Amino acid sequence: MSEETKNQETEVNQEEMDQFVSLKKGDTVKGSIVKLEDNQAYVSIGYKYDGVIPIRELSSVHLDNASDAVQVGQEVECKVVSIDDEKEKLVLSKRAIDSENAWEELEKHFEAQDVLEVTVADVVKGGLVADVGVRGFIPASMVERHFVEDFSDYKGRTLRVKVKEIDRENNKVILSAKEVLEEEFESNKQKVMSELQEGQELEGTVQRLTQFGAFVDVGGVDGLVHVSEMAWNHVEKPADVVSEGDKVKVKVLKVDPEKGKISLSIKAAQPGPWDSAAEKFNTGDVVTGEVKRLVTFGAFVELAPGVEGLVHISQISHKHIGTPQEVLKEGQEVQVKILDINTAEKRVSLSIKETEEAPAAAPRQERPAKSSSNHKDELKDNPNVSLSNQGLSITLGERFGDKLSKFK
């Protein structure tokens, strides 16, 4: 080896020694991940031995394994936490550099209120944790638009969030995915509502049930089907007709963009009971029905779900009744005769008494004939009795003889 070559090697070694000597705690270095263990990662930074990043220094959030944060071959920037050349121990922190860089970015996101994507690193009491260079917390109430009871399957999910609160001094960052979802929902809602038309029929998905109806998703927007619009027959509660997740056909009754409300109907999207009533029932038919309501002037009897007819009080019984309640009760099954049916006006006239045989009339009692002597006695006792009506022949002389003699 020539003298010149020896001098060059000496200069290189001296430069490396200078680098080694100048490396100190707090320095920022760049390197590549060369090896992973469960609880640490090895980094080559061009030093005489590799540095180590303990799992707690890999991320600002809890990790189960080092591989959850970095991969072999990945370039990383770290800060020197401690260095001991005698023991060849160099401890580095990726978390420290990430945190320093993160605060500036988070400040920008907070001021702009723009959207960023984060990955859920952990599920903790009260919400979710994401690594945004620092520990970002998403409260349970800010995860979804609706209530979520169990977040166990959210770990590893990617969420779109906004920075709601930032406090660098206390190392506090609050994120909200709900606000992003709300804004997207409102934007989509206005678009969908502008396209909906009253009378339009479409398919939707039942989202939620309440005591007064069901909320149905129609293109990303919920519309209300009131309990009175769920079926043609009477419905006690929505759960009797539909369940969450059901696909249903609905008709748009009303759209109110200002209030953000959509009124829907399930029954209006189905053939009504009166549509088939004309084919099913005819004048003169005797059918079985159920007494649904009693009123002062009669009884409403249901012939089929949604088809009711009126039995006027005069058509309830052959005998005179003061009120329908005297012979009928709600829920009672009765035989009725159809007197008239008008499907266009949704009106049916019914009779109960015409399905029953009229009672036989009581025989008349004849008066005994009266004798002529009796007639005379009656005339004597009652001078107002008409003579002609009594069938008697009486002369004027017999009746007024005593008075006529005075004129002779």
Tell whether pTM > 0.75. Answer: no
Let me know the angle formed at the C-alpha of 148 by 146 and 153, rounded to the nearest 5 degrees: 130
Q: Residue 223: in which H helix or E strand, if any?
A: strand 222-226
Work out the mean pLDDT of the chain and round it to a whole number.
Answer: 84
Given pLDDT bands bounded at 50, 70 and 90, which one contains residue 362? low
Average pLDDT over residues 110-119: 94
Average pLDDT over residues 213-231: 93
Tell whether the model's pLDDT for residue 337 goes beyond 90.
Answer: yes
CA distance 224 to 245: 15
Q: Would you give the DSSP letter of residue 386?
A: -
User: In order of start, what are the domains of the chain with their CATH numbers?
Assistant: 98-181 (2.40.50.140), 196-269 (2.40.50.140), 276-355 (2.40.50.140)
Given pLDDT bands bounded at 50, 70 and 90, which one contains residue 315? very high
Tell whether the model's pLDDT for residue 10 goes beyond 80.
Answer: no
CA-nearest of 194, 215, 195, 190 to 204 is: 215
CA distance 368 to 366: 7
- The string of DSSP letters for 262-298 reads EEEESGGGS--HHHHHHHH--TT-EEEEEEEEEETTE
149-158: pLDDT as tens digits: 999 999 999 9
Higher pLDDT, 289 or 372: 289
Task: Name every residue whose Cβ is closer than 8 Å to that of residue 204 and which is 6 or more positions away in sequence.
Answer: 216, 217, 218, 223, 247, 248, 249, 250, 264
User: What residue type is 300 in one-letter code?
Assistant: F
CA-nearest of 188, 260, 186 to 224 is: 260
139-151: pLDDT as tens digits: 999 999 888 999 9
Task: Give residue 340's Cα distance to chain centre.
Answer: 41
